[in-house]
Homo-oligomer: A and B are copies of this chain.
Amino acid sequence: MTGMQDLNTFTLAELAEKLDARVQGEGSQPITGLAALQDAGPNDLTFLANRQYRKLLTGTRAGGVLLTEADAADFSGNALVVADPYLAYARISHHFDPRPRPQPGIHPSAVIADTAIIDPTASIAAGVVVEADAVVGANVTLGAHCFVGERCRIGAGSWLAPRVTLYHDVRMGERAVIQSGAVVGGEGFGFASSQGQWHKIAQIGGVLIGDDVEIGANTTIDRGALSDTVIGNGVKLDNQIQIAHNVQIGDHTAMAACVGISGSTRIGRHCMIAGGVGMVGHIEICDNVFVSGMTMVTRSITEPGAYSSGTAMQTATEWKKSAARIRQLDTLAKRIQQLEKQLSAVTPAPRDSSES
């Protein structure tokens, strides 16, 4: 769509081999990019992930469509038949990614400490700073202006976009992806109060990050106060998330943008936290919890399931009335109680009380 996707050309048959897919139609069809069903041109591959959009199939101009066996049966165009079209799209998308792939080597403007260990296959861009005793693994890319503090370890195959900051003693596994502006290992918000003033507590823990973790742009993960802040394997964090000191996040949990997690809270595995959620500190969230957007989580969650808070949007006029009534709620509830008391003096309750 943007003129940059014709960097790579494959035939449908070549893509089928990468995906272990069955070709239906012309295997020789050249594919130069990916696009949505309604936007795809004759050299684009597309996909049908949601059967709700099935009617768009008929009109598509795509050179090929990723389809399930069931959907392919009715389709006369070129298709790659797979078990999970959306997953297949995810896998194949990387072959059409115009993201620059830098060559191994260290840019002359980078500043690397003598005791840092940089794998010869790593790519270190302009202005990067790597401090003493840091270890940068095989095939790691450090984008321009990245800062890697003392004793950090970055596992093989990790990609740090330009301008990522790792304070000292941040250790991460393999295949990490960190977007620009992320700060890992900053000093958490720890102060002792005495006579109306705040006294800083040194944050002497580190950050421990598993394999296959993604950290979004301008997200911040504080180092531990005493022990480490811990991010599990496969955790995916979107942009502008705040993870306070000593938080622990279980494997394969995902968080959308603008979430804030307060200190020492522990989140289980396979949780999904939607955008703008806030959690207080020192609570525990069990595995398999879904929290909807902008929910305020003020207590532990011990049962898997979906949780929410907040009020629905209204016109401002209606909302002003609702907001005023909420402030009267306690009084309203007492007025109901009073009515019930009065009414029971006049008449016995009807037998059919199933609704109450």
Contact = CB atoms under 8 A, between A and B. Distances in A.
Contacts of A337: 355-356
A138 interface: no
Contact of A347 (B90, B163, B345): B345
Contact of A305 (B86, B306, B316): B316
Contacts of A192: 84, 86-87, 89-90
A2 interface: yes
A183 interface: yes
A278 B293 contact: yes
A203 to B, nearest CB: 8
A115 B324 CA distance: 59
Contacts of A238: 189
Contact of A167 (B150, B165, B180): B180
A195 B204 CA distance: 37
A186 B294 contact: no
Given A342-B349, A355-B337, A87 B199 contact: yes
A276 B254 contact: no
A143 B201 CA distance: 20
A18 interface: no
Contact of A308 (B190, B197, B316, B326): B316
A50 to B, nearest CB: 11
A228 B179 contact: no
A100 interface: yes
Interface string A283-298: 0000000101111111
A218 B183 contact: yes
A356 B334 CA distance: 5
Contact of A338 (B35, B203, B345, B356): B356
A98 B203 CA distance: 9
A30 to B, nearest CB: 17
